[in-house]
Structure 1
Amino acid sequence: MTTNSQQLSLQGRKATQARDWRTVDDCANKLLRLSPSNPEGYFFKGLVEKASQHPNIASEAFEKALSLDSARYDAAIELASQYVIAMRNTEAIALLENYTSNLSNSPRYLDMAGTIYTDIGLSSLALPLYQKANELQPGIDLFSANLAACSIFLGKIKDARDIYLALLEKNPLHQRNHYQLSRLERATDDHHIVQMKAVLEQATLPPHRNIFIYYALAKELEDLERWDESFHFYKQAGDAVTTVSNYDVSKDETLIQKIMDTCTPEWLADRKLSSPLGRQDKSPIFVLGLPRTGTTLTERILASHSSVESIGETKYLESIMRTLSGIPSVEKMTPEMIDALAPMDTTAIANGYLDAVSYLLGDKPLFIEKLPYNFLYIGFIVKAFPNAKIVRLKRNPMDSCFAIYKQPFTWAYKFSYNLDDLARYYLAHDKLFSYWRNLLGDQLIEVEYETLVNDSENQTRILLDRLGLDFEDACLNFEQNETATTTASSVQVREKIHSRSVLRWKRYEEQLKPLRTHLEAAGIRVE
């Protein structure tokens, strides 16, 4: 590399750290004018396109850099990150497998490789990379936080707790770390509550920037049975998000009605093929429903069976359908997407989805996809996968709504932050499943959370029988299943089954009166 090239490389790397993409692009162009075969120029081009959210163009640039210098591990890891966005997961994994051994002196790319593995549901492969990044460069908060989160996914709760305590000792004002710590165990005293209230008193942020400390306080106050004070902070959190969410529940009500209007018996009967091409050996079980209704519990029970494996919560079905629709919406589903998808041969959905998840599948005949909001796609699921089973979890309406209200889902479930929105969404969801219940027959299996936790062995036997499976004792000992889980219930699933959450809403009966009134006025029985 010439002196000019070295100077441009140094300038480009400094600009990258400053996220000055115009300068990075300028350096790339100058490098390539000096030498069209300079891998650094293409690497910079890839970074610019990555920052501009152009994964296909970024991939081409990183591929070119690698073709010119196969030792460029930075280009390889960056390329893997772009492959994941394009759902080219098998290729991404191949890059990681080939290059992670070259990262022994690069904590940044060790951490990035770990994040890629985490994003595609391979937390067990991510953990040693995060650990190595922290060993090489201790004291980097991002590396520590990623290691802590991965530890939670893998059930290493004590390790995660130690990391969060160290992070908070270093920065006591970090609200999200307080929230993560609060999730890891039940509060038995108000020591952490006092600390968090002090943080809140010092905060000069607008309310929507304090939501994680609100949720953390509410959760620990609930642990201590200080119900009124707990609800005060849950409401503060929900109100804070509502002010900035720009959410209109009527749009979701319209969407759910559109699903029912489109996915008619006649539409479902028009199946081009009986199964995806060449995929008769794999049958999916879609575990779904409203969040916080027992979907993770059910997944863990089923995944403990010798004939079943879980691929966790993936968004590949959503991504495939968005891509096929040709509509670049940020929403999970829209009426326009339904109109675009409805006339299509759903074999494309099935094969696209199975291609995307193939790297997660072993040799077991059944696999679970557990993403609660897949209920939006049931019509397309049963048309694309005629042999699929739909396991829908349902729970006491008040417990269901309140459990959702208590959880910071960011933007995954925008209806969750306001009790009126929650009630309206619940009613639309209930109407949707009344529709599917009449239409799908035995293909829809409904499981009541309360019955499952109070009569676990009998209900597990019934569920397995509905799925055509023999009973196995391992299904009752799901807490011994060491596979990763990345859901909001990642801590609770390490516990034995319990009924502590049944009728939890009764502790907040006065505060939840408006919710109850709304549901009962629509004919929903809450007791």
Structure 2
Amino acid sequence: MTGNDVDAARNEPVLSRALADAIEHLTADRLGLAEDIVRRHLNDHPDDVAALCILGDLAARAGVLSEAVDLFQRAVDLAPRYSEARFNLARVLARIAQIPRAISELTALLSADPSNLPATKLRLALLAQTGQHDRAVRERADLLRRRPHDPYLWIAQANELKTVGRREEAIAGFRHALALNPHAGEAWWGLANLKVGALAADDDVDAMLFAIEHAGEHWRRTIPTHFALARAFEDAGAYEPAFKHYSLGNALQRRTRDYDSATTTQEVDATIAQFTPSFAADVSNLGCLSRAPIFIVGMPRAGSTLVEQILASHSQVEGTSELPIIPALVNRKLGAERSRHDQTFSSVLARLDGTDLRSLGDEYIAGAAIYRHTDRPYFIDKLPTNWMDLALICTMLPNARIIDARRDALPCCFANWKQYFPLGHGFSNDLRDIAFYYRDYVRAMAHFQHVVPTRITRVDHTLLLENPEREIRALLEWLELPFEPACLTPHLTNRPVRTASSEQVRRPISTAGADLWRHFEPWLGEMKTALGDLA
């Protein structure tokens, strides 16, 4: 079969028996067998569109995204009308932060197939991700007029309305989704994540309990419902049932994730061993010399959104939220080599020369452009997990400033455990895993603070809440920015906020709520033990 063997009516490739067997293995998670069959088949039929797409799927699952892009692109070149190949190409491009190219592929797909719902949803998500929130709201509203009975479209729209600060409309959207499907856990969590007041205590608790009890085999959809129910109990002061449902939600979500705390520890060990003072001195001026990026790193739920909101209130700083560019660069440029040779990231980084580092830095700056919508000289990247890749950041962007947003261990770790994260943060579902992750983060930051002390400053969340003006003035001075009074009233800065802290940063800076975690302290012994001297 070749790329021309495409069913004209369906715009889909026709499968051979061998490829049908490969798909059967793929469905059963026998990935090695599936790959062997497909690669043998492609040796004889290099232009087989179906085989290219199956191998692309396998590469994407393995995290070798650059190879997946090449395979899906080859399939699209051979069969331009095959919508699934183009959609998968766009989806992998989005994963490696090539957003303009992904949107271009989706636009081409939708021009030929306007009713393609997955492509429409992905395009809207990418518009929102790149800060085009008003456009995403408008276009999704048009889609909802055509598909008014889709609860998950209503949930997506409500989340977008929450991002832009339209709280009451967001609540109405989540309620509408629940009227269509009372089992829609993401809608329950959407209401709960709007903090106090969005859930009606008794009626909503009963409805959530009913949804959980009647989920049957669909236990996955109860995960966000457990978190939402726990939040409702917490708001009502019923801390024991709240802890119970946080525990149940985390236990269920842990079953869906493959996280190993030992791997994180090993990666930190490798980074510390590689990024020595002599290594840092050797590469100190080899990367892109732009001073535009300001990175805010640390744990999730540690106050980084507040720090970003403060800085985004300054006339010279643009807040762009959590950019996916650094992880994408690691995967696209270094992931394939690491996968082939089972190498650590640090060992790959050690072989990069000045040209490589400048290219990576330039690519980061170019990639950030689509997320920027002002001409302010500085911009923020507040992806918390970037602390894992500080060795790359420090070498490819030697003039970038790095802010460590630090919150005390117990409140920070507990806040992570009780937060529902639909994607990522696999460490957050286990009290011990969170503690080990926090310890590795503190250990890594201490090392970088020692090796490149002038590049990093720490903002202590507790001190910031207790004395905002003192801490904000010190931060601006470290960034060499003039003081501006607007930074003291960040809640008045009108900008989209996508993170879980969107509601808090729209209120004046206050210590209110800082000690709510203490209501759960009797059940946190396991976390305290794992934290050790950091507890």
Match of 2:408 among 396, 402, 408: 396
- C-alpha change, 1:78 and 1:256, in structure 2 (3 Å) is closer
Match of 1:126 among 136, 139, 146: 136
1:251 aligns with 2:259: no
2:64 maps to none
Per-residue CA deviation, residues 73-129 of structure 1 (Å, 9 max, x unaligned), is 999988765654454434455677899899988777554431231344433332221
* Counterpart-to-counterpart distance in 2, 1:156 and 1:46: 44
TM-score normalised to structure 1 length: 0.81
SS for the counterpart of 1:391 is strand
1:418 aligns with 2:430: yes
Per-residue CA deviation, residues 38-65 of structure 1 (Å, 9 max, x unaligned), is xxxx999998888675433434554677
1:350 aligns with 2:361: yes
1:181 maps to 191
1:323 aligns with 2:332: yes
1:160 maps to 170
* Counterpart-to-counterpart distance in 1, 2:78 and 2:151: 33
The percent of aligned pairs where both chains have the same amino acid is: 24
2:215 maps to 203
* Counterpart-to-counterpart distance in 1, 2:87 and 2:266: 42
Aligned residues: 488
Residue identity in the other structure for 1:341: L
Match of 2:296 among 279, 284, 287: 287
* Counterpart-to-counterpart distance in 2, 1:481 and 1:404: 26
The 5 Å alignment of 1:109-508 reads: 110-187=120-197, 189-205=201-217, 210-271=222-283, 273-276=285-288, 280=290, 282-327=291-336, 336-345=344-353, 346-361=357-372, 362-410=374-422, 412-508=424-520
Per-residue CA deviation, residues 386-424 of structure 1 (Å, 9 max, x unaligned), is 211110011121101111111122452222222122222
- The gaps in structure 2 that reach 5 residues or longer are 24-47, 61-67
Residue identity in the other structure for 1:300: Q
1:56 aligns with 2:70: yes
* Counterpart-to-counterpart distance in 2, 1:74 and 1:239: 34
- C-alpha change, 1:489 and 1:55, in structure 2 (3 Å) is same
SS for the counterpart of 2:272 is helix
* Counterpart-to-counterpart distance in 1, 2:92 and 2:324: 16
1:32 maps to none
Mapped contact 1:108–1:133 kept (Cα < 8 A) = no
- C-alpha change, 1:235 and 1:76, in structure 2 (3 Å) is closer
SS for the counterpart of 2:412 is helix
Mapped contact 2:90–2:101 kept (Cα < 8 A) = yes
- The gaps in structure 1 that reach 5 residues or longer are 16-20, 26-41
- C-alpha change, 1:444 and 1:82, in structure 2 (3 Å) is closer
TM-score normalised to structure 2 length: 0.80
Which has the higher mean CA deviation after the structures are superposed, 81-90 or 506-515? Answer: 81-90
* Counterpart-to-counterpart distance in 2, 1:208 and 1:94: 33
- C-alpha change, 1:460 and 1:260, in structure 2 (3 Å) is same
Which has the higher mean CA deviation after the structures are superposed, 179-188 or 95-104? Answer: 95-104
* Counterpart-to-counterpart distance in 2, 1:426 and 1:48: 38
Residue identity in the other structure for 1:311: T
Residue identity in the other structure for 2:360: I
* Aligned-pair CA distance for 1:240: 2.6
Residue identity in the other structure for 1:58: F
SS for the counterpart of 2:533 is coil
